Amino acid sequence: MISRPPRPLLWLGGLLAVYLGYPLLAFAVRVASGGQEGWNVPGLWPAVGVSVISSSASLLIGVITGVPLAYILARRNGRLSAAVGVLVQLPLALPPLITGIILIYVAGPYSFLGRLSGQRLTETIWGLIIAQSFVSIPFLVVVARSAFRSVDPALEEVAATLGHGPLARFLRVDVPGASDGIRTGMILMWLRAFGEFGTVVILAYHPYSLPVYVDNLFSSGPLSQAEAPTVLAFVVAVAAIALSTLRRLPQLGAGERRQARAQPVAPPTADAAPVAFDLTARAGEFSLRIAQPTASRRLAVVGPSGSGKSLTLRALAGVVGSAGSVRCGGIDFTHIDPERRRVGYVPQGYGLIPGRTVWEQIRFGLHADGARAAWWLERLELTSLAERLPHQLSGGQRQRVSLARALASDPRLLLLDEPFSALDAPVRARLQRELRALQRETGLTTVLVTHDPQEAAMLADDVLVIADGRVLQAGPVGDVFRHPASTQVASLLGLRNVGTGIITADGRHLQSGELRLAVAEAPRAGTQVLWSVPMEQVQVDPVPLAGGGAAIRPGTTAGVVLDLIDLGTCVEIVVALAGRLELTARSTAPAVTRAGDPCLVRIEPEAVRSWPVAVETGTPASAGQR
């Protein structure tokens, strides 16, 4: 339940409303009780016509020039953009009379434009348009710039991967996305131009605009004669403001969907197009250097936040500047613009375009076939949602819409950026199974970015583990998960009970800090190794009541229970060993029951796997790293 605003705020807001509304109410009462004078005074309707025409012409000039400028200022950061932004706002800060004097030097009788027009520019409607445009265009530019800044740049990137060029992206994504702000700016600009007096009276006194006409009436006749043009100005302002409440109508409806669904279409199949790449890219101060030299059909990129995972996908899609090479099947993407790569891209935020229905989203791709779009609409269970807008969808529904849109264009390569991270567990599991089925059924080449190792193992054949923009390990999923190259890789893959050690002189043990483990098979003595033990094969028992430490058998290590985590179907037991090492055991019937109790840990030699690795500089030998 939303609480009521504090009483002082209500008072202040009400006071302002009374202040703004009372003069209008008083004027309405005066007009209603007056003699309705001024309606037949010569020049009224021509003045209204002049103001409407000149204001509309100024608005047209502002839309053609001001909207693109606002977009550029919103997307560019730098000294030049900042200087232009200040220049645009200057007419807002200058008094109108001063602005008129400045314009005389540009459009006055003795300026270049004035001489070109026979020194009559200031006596035509063109002089009026120049004056009105100069003082009103900044309103449109300032408001539209803020609106463009609120449009997610990822929408442009998605549109590029769907085949739309720069101009199409501007007209079909950025302008609709900023439409509310642009519309508001247009209304403000038109009203400012319609009501401008100071600049107009200095630069272009003839023909009369409505404000100049009212000033003449006020100066030369009774106040009552100014009531009629004031009423007209009020009506025009209300009508203009009312236009800002109009909303866009749907472009496509159920009729097109039914027609598209009636067309026969076979389930999509993809040509074998494994992807390989060697990329260098930058984003601010962050640099990315990543390579997947072995072509892969299903690749997962795993790493912590800020490691460059999303930048990798954007570089593959071609929407961010990069160097190097990208090959998909027999096609070299390196010098191909993003709109011609035929890449399906599903960003983290799903990239749904505001104001477009689900059906319009799926049909938005330049190469999206209606029948194929209808097939994906039904395949991903979106038919009942076809007329909904993005804000009417849940997270899982948005994810499916984004996926359907990417697939409706029959992409050569599908790029997925954390597609399930924002979903609850049941929905995430179901959509993961759906994507796995799609990979199997269509043979689609995918590159998946995720921080979930289980998701990577489920949806990929090969994995890249990265950190700080560099590859830590690459290879088939099974090899990387079974033999991580370092404890850092093991930690990023979520592996437990992994540590570093050295094979002892007898060749049958490894020493990891103060922990000594028997191994069934080991490299030669003195070899630096990584080792791992499955949680299910770590046995944790309580210390016997009698005998204490004397009861510890060979191969058994003393420890202390740090935590017991009940997962419902099993219990995880975290144990601290000597030397600050930690191990995690998993059991359905744990023998220990309380944290803080001493315990005995036993690991059979057959459970220990070890493999040679390069010496890790500065990497701790903790088995409990995650």
Give residue 527's identity as a one-letter amino acid code.
Answer: T
The answer to the question of residue 504 being in a domain is yes
pLDDT at 149: 95
**Domain tally, the chain:** 3
Let me know whether 166 and 90 are in one domain: yes
**Higher per-residue confidence, 61 vs 421:** 61
Convert the pLDDT of each residue in 100-159 to its tens digit.
999 998 888 888 888 887 777 788 899 999 999 999 999 999 999 999 999 998 999 999
Inter-residue contact 495 to 484 (CB < 8 Å): yes
Question: What are the tokens at 290?
Answer: 């990543």
Let me know whether 490 and 430 are in one domain: no
CA distances from 390 to 372, 380, 431 (A): 21, 16, 19
pLDDT at 626: 34
pLDDT band at 618 (very low <50, low <70, confident <90, very high): very low
- Average pLDDT of the residues in 45-64: 94
pLDDT at 187: 93
DSSP letter for each residue of 538-600: EEEEEPPTTTGGGGPPTTEEEEEEEEEEE-SS-EEEEEEEGGG-EEEEEESS-S--STT-EEE
pLDDT at 329: 82
The answer to the question of residue 339 being in a domain is yes
pLDDT at 227: 82
Average pLDDT for the chain: 86
The answer to the question of residue 532 being in a domain is yes
Q: Which of 460, 480, 500 is the last residue of a domain?
A: 480
The answer to the question of residue 623 being in a domain is no
For the chain, how many residues are written? 626
The answer to the question of residue 252 being in a domain is no
Q: Please choose, from the candidates 394, 478, 385, the residue with its C-alpha nearest in 3D space to the C-alpha of residue 431.
A: 394
pLDDT band at 249 (very low <50, low <70, confident <90, very high): very low
By mean pLDDT, which of 178-187, 250-259, 503-512, 527-536 is the weakest?
Answer: 250-259
Let me know whether 221 and 268 are in one domain: no
Question: What are the tokens at 421?
Answer: 């991270």
Convert the pLDDT of each residue in 149-168 to its tens digit.
999 989 999 999 999 999 99
Let me know whether 235 and 268 are in one domain: no
Let me know whether 468 and 506 are in one domain: no
Provide the edge-to-edge strand list for the sheet that holds 498-503. 515-518, 509-512, 498-503, 528-532, 609-612
Three-state DSSP class for 278?
Answer: strand
Q: CA 363 to CA 365: how far, in whole Å? A: 6
**Higher per-residue confidence, 57 vs 379:** 57
Q: CA 162 to CA 405: how far, in whole Å? A: 9
Let me know whether 233 and 276 are in one domain: no
CA dihedral 179, 175, 75, 240 (to 10 degrees): -40
Let me know whether 120 and 180 are in one domain: yes
Using the structure block, give the residue that is written with the tokens 């289980």. 454
Question: What are the tokens at 228?
Answer: 């009629």
Q: CA 163 to CA 342: how far, in whole Å? A: 7
Convert the pLDDT of each residue in 382-408 to its tens digit.
989 999 999 999 888 898 899 999 999
Which CATH number does the domain housing residue 167 bear? 1.10.3720.10
Q: Where are the alpha helices (DSSP H) in 320-369?
A: 358-362
Q: CA 490 to CA 618: how far, in whole Å? A: 15
Which CATH number does the domain housing residue 586 bear? 2.40.50.140
Question: What are the tokens at 583?
Answer: 């191990």
CA distances from 136 to 88, 99, 127, 132 (A): 10, 12, 14, 6
Which CATH number does the domain housing residue 334 bear? 3.40.50.300
CA distances from 573 to 220, 447, 563 (A): 95, 36, 6
Q: CA 362 to CA 344: how far, in whole Å? A: 12
Let me know whether 271 and 237 are in one domain: no
Let me know whether 172 and 217 are in one domain: yes
Q: Which of 187, 210, 243 is the last residue of a domain?
A: 243
Inform me whether the pLDDT recorded for 449 exceeds 80.
Answer: yes
- H/E element holding 58? helix 44-75
- H/E element holding 103? helix 96-107
Let me know whether 116 and 200 are in one domain: yes
pLDDT at 624: 41
Inform me whether the pLDDT recorded for 622 exceeds 60.
Answer: no
pLDDT band at 256 (very low <50, low <70, confident <90, very high): low
pLDDT at 248: 52
Inform me whether the pLDDT recorded for 37 exceeds 80.
Answer: no
The pairing of strands 298-302 and 556-566 is unpaired
pLDDT at 246: 66
The answer to the question of residue 14 being in a domain is no
Question: What are the tokens at 523?
Answer: 């490299």
- Average pLDDT of the residues in 74-85: 91
Q: CA 50 to CA 56: how far, in whole Å? A: 10
pLDDT at 308: 92
The answer to the question of residue 11 being in a domain is no
The answer to the question of residue 626 being in a domain is no
What percentage of residues in the chain have a pLDDT greater than 90?
46
Q: Which of 447, 480, 513 is the last residue of a domain?
A: 480
Domain of 277, in residue numbers = 262-480
Let me know whether 143 and 191 are in one domain: yes
Let me know whether 186 and 272 are in one domain: no
